[in-house]
Amino acid sequence: MFYSFKPQIHLRVMNSKESAQIDNPSKCNYENCDRGYTNQECLQKHIAYRHSNVKTCSKCSKGYSTNEEFRDHMKFHAFQLLEMSVKMGRR
C-alpha cells in the first residue's frame, strides 16, 4: 500500500535517572547511585555486580566494582610511575 501521508510516531527516550524516578519502584540505596529497576530481582543483580566485591586501590584508596575498571585504574598508576622515572632520568 502506498500512503499519501507520513504517519507520525513520537517516541521519547528517557535516561536512567528519569526512568528510575518515574516507574521503577525498586531503587538502589547505595551512596551516589541513582539506579532504579522495575523489579527486585533486577535490583539484586545490579547490587551484586556494581556494589559487591569492591576492589580498593592500595595507592589512592579508590574503589572499583569490576575487574576491568580496577585493571584500567592500575594501568593509570603504572603510567604515572613510568612518567616520574622518565622525568628523573631513571629510564
Give, for all 91 residues of the chain, the pLDDT tens digit: 555 555 555 445 555 555 545 555 788 988 888 888 888 999 988 888 887 777 888 888 888 877 888 899 999 988 888 888 888 876 5
Give the pTM: 0.41
The pLDDT value given to residue 2: 56
DSSP E strand boundaries for the chain: 26-27, 36-37, 55-56, 63-64
| Owner of C-alpha cell 622518565 | 86
The pLDDT value given to residue 74: 92
